[in-house]
Structure 1
Amino acid sequence: MTAPIPRRSALAQAAARGEFLITAEVAPPCGSDPSLMLSHARLLKDRVHAVNITDCSRAVLRMSALVSSALLLREGIEPVCQLACRDRNRLALMADLMGASALGVWNVLALTGDPVKAGNHPEAKSVFDLESVRLLQLISKLNAGLDCRDQPLCDGPTELFAGAAVDPQSGSWSGLQRRFERKLAAGAQFFQSQMITDFDRLSKFMDQVGNPSGKPVLAGIFLLKSAKNAQFVNRCVPGVNIPDSIIERLAQAPDPLAEGVQIAAEQVRAARDLCQGVHLMAVKKENLIPQILDLAGIAPLFKIQN
């Protein structure tokens, strides 16, 4: 089911203009005080097209992604609201999606969600009434003015710009292609990748899968803070294999964090030659994202627009 691209999503408009898209990830607070989240997000204003708000990532308790996204809107910052199927049935998903559209949270990243056993409340019950592909199909229906049973929405359709996750470094190439094509057919308008460490693999993916789709793919760029941090990511994040050469660079650097910023900037430049955007992840160091973009030669957005 095809619905028009939302007119009111600035991210959608930038994608339609063919701009190099920049998003960055910020975690909601673990509590009711959003001041730290907002201070991080303010630093990104005019540097990114949208700030991605996680939805209890890794099944770790955080404030509602939808509420956090609404708080960003008050600051004049466009959010991408992640929405995971792990914690909601289809009724709750539809309710949140209609609420997102009503609030002006136009951008939604449709996710299946991490298993609860990985998080800090392993006794919680999973839902998984839907998964990411069927969630994308649901968003397409809501945008067309229908609910999941094809009944009309009597108070008007949603206007959502739906994105999906993709892992170009997946071990199964055929599985990666099939999953991407299913998400594309379900209505995904943009794709955000997992953390990229193999840019040859990303190049192959873009040539054979990403570019032919006609939809923007944003490469995930992760700020590594030290060799120990890189080793932890290798050990604990499935599908990630940070090369020994990068770990050695971090280990030998007089200032490992500064070296991590330089590596991230190099990766942004590499991604710029391969795909349509980047998604920056700098956990607890979001203040360094503008520096990464500066080193990568990415000007503030208001200068680009003017």
Structure 2
Amino acid sequence: MHENHSPLPISSFRSAALAGNFLITAEVAPPKGSDVSHMLQMAATLKGRVHAVNVTDGSRAVLRMSSLVASAILLHQGIEPICQIACRDRNRIGIQADLMGAHALGIHNILALTGDPVKAGDHPQAKPVFDLEAVRLLQLIQKLNQGVDDNEKPLPDGATDLFTGAAVDPQCPSWSGLQSRFEKKLAAGAQFFQSQLITDFDRLDKFMNTIAAGCNKPILAGIFLLKSAKNAEFINRCVPGVQIPQHIIDRLAQAKDPLEEGMKIAAEQVKIAQQLCQGVHMMAVRREDLIPEILEMAGVGLTSSRLTSPSVPEERIQLIGN
């Protein structure tokens, strides 16, 4: 039995977002099984260092423990979760049931996702559902927060209070498609946006100053810890829509300590993101314990995370190297 902790106050993540703070979140994956010890060990290193821990929901269509259950376990340990809800595996009845359950458990932060295709994962023979996609999921959550279900029927036991975010990919090759999707998610009630892994910060800069300008919603840049050149090449092969530049792969390959070099690259990227948007979402698969050190290298912490007016330094383009 895990040690009991007193419940958290109402979302510190939501409070920080609404206050205009520079937001710091980090991703953890639920276990592939029932042993949560590694997840808890990694999440414990993040406690007090990030505003919330983002819990994946079948990322890359790989089987893992329920994101809702994993989020509840983290909350019980005093760690505020952002629970991902993907549309791939459940119809709207199941999704609404999970969302009402999340609210009842005190899990108020939700990241609404369409979900990765089944064929990308470890059960390619599974039947995908996709009754909804991200925009319609956001619309459904809006209804639940207004006290009605997806059929506009009143919820007799009360409305939910969910703080909902959505994904965005500033590196999407279709600029018009990116703008259209972003605007639809805004209209559907997205309160914050978490980006895919960012490697092209000029593209992020353009996105922030054109498409996202004036939206008044936090955008968190996805920062990924690359552990080696081999790891970067794997990302390029296996993660749709992501392309790690060759100069970063070369830098990792030439480093005496590739993991340390990957941490330096991630810290440099955090510094750039701090000048461009209102937060970072840190991803360090199975090495989440290194995220606090990366944040320290970048000079970013919760106590110094008040949002300041972006002013991109001259050395920004040189930080990651060419």
Whether the TM-score (by the shorter chain) exceeds 0.5 is yes
Superposition deviation, residue 304 in structure 1: 6.5
CA distance in 2, matches of 1:18, 1:26: 24
In the aligned structure 2, how far is the partner of 1:194 from the partner of 1:282? 14
Deviations 1:4-27 (A, max 9, x none): xxx932211101111000000000
Please tell me the residue identity of whatever aligns with 1:158: T
Which residue number corresponds to residue 130 of structure 1?
132
- The answer to whether the Cα contact below 8 Å between 1:24 and 1:279 also exists between their aligned partners in 2 is yes
Q: TM-score with structure 2 length normalisation?
A: 0.91
* Alpha carbons of structure 1 residues 209 and 304: separation in structure 2 relative to 1, 3 Å: closer
Equivalent position SS for 2:166: strand
- The structure 2 residue matched to 1:113, chosen from 112, 115, 119, is 115
2:60 is aligned to: 58
Q: Work out the CA distance in 1 between the residues paired with 2:226 and 2:202.
A: 20
1:273 to 272, 275, 282: 275
Mapped to 2, the partners of 1:46 and 1:304 lie a distance apart of 13
Determine the structure 1 residue equivalent to 2:10.
Answer: 8
Amino acid at match of 2:119: K
Is 1:294 the equivalent of 2:283? no
Write the distance in 2 (CA, Å) between the matches of 1:240 and 1:144: 37
1:36 — aligned with what? Answer: 38
**Matched-pair contact (CA < 8 Å) for 2:198–2:223:** yes
Specify the alignment match of 2:6 in structure 1: none
**Alignment equivalent of 2:96, drawn from 94, 97, 102:** 94
Residue by residue over 1:139-169, the C-alpha shift from the partner in whole angstroms, topping out at 9 and shown as x without a partner, is: 0000000100111100000000000000000
- 1:175-225 Cα shifts (integer Å, max 9, x gaps): 000000000000000000000000000000000122321100000000001
Q: Separation in 2 of the partners of 1:216 and 1:241? A: 24
Quote the RMSD (CA, aligned, Å).
1.3
Segments of 5+ residues of structure 1 without an aligned counterpart are 1-6
**Quick check: 1:222–1:282 contact (8 Å CA) kept in 2?**
yes
Give a deviation string over 1:222-249, Cα, whole Å, max 9, x none.
Answer: 0001111111212222222212211111
2:314 is aligned to: none
Q: Which amino acid aligns with 1:270?
A: I
Instruction: Give aligned-pair identity as a percent.
Output: 69
Aligned partners of 2:89, 2:244: CA distance in 1, in Å?
31
Partner of 1:3: none
Aligned-partner Cα distance in 1 for 2:39–2:61: 18
Distance 1:30 1:151, change over 3 A: same
Write the letter of the residue equivalent to 2:75: L
Aligned residue number for residue 230 of structure 1: 232
The code of the aligned residue for 1:125 comes to K
Q: 1:148 aligns with which of 136, 147, 150?
A: 150
Residue 148 of structure 1 aligns to a residue whose secondary structure is coil
In the alignment, structure 2 segments of 5+ residues that lack a partner are 1-8, 307-322
Residues paired across the two proteins, number: 298
Paired with 2:245 and 2:108, the residues of 1 have a C-alpha distance of 37
Task: Work out the CA distance in 2 between the residues paired with 1:57 and 1:161.
Answer: 21
Equivalent position of 1:84 in the other structure: 86
Match of 1:243 in 2: 245
Which letter maps to 2:191?
Q
Letter in 2 for 1:67: V
Structure 1 SS opposite 2:222: strand
Aligned-partner Cα distance in 1 for 2:305–2:185 = 31
Q: Which stretch has the larger CA shift, 238-247 or 224-233? A: 238-247
Q: Is the 2:23–2:305 contact (alpha carbons within 8 Å) kept by the matching residues of 1? A: no
Runs of 4+ in 1 over 3 A off after TM superposition: 302-305
Mapped to 2, the partners of 1:95 and 1:211 lie a distance apart of: 35
CA distance in 2 between partners of 1:239 and 1:29 (Å): 25
Secondary structure of the residue that 1:168 maps to in structure 2?
coil
- Counterpart of 1:30, as a letter, is K
* Aligned 8 A contact 2:21 2:305 in 1: no
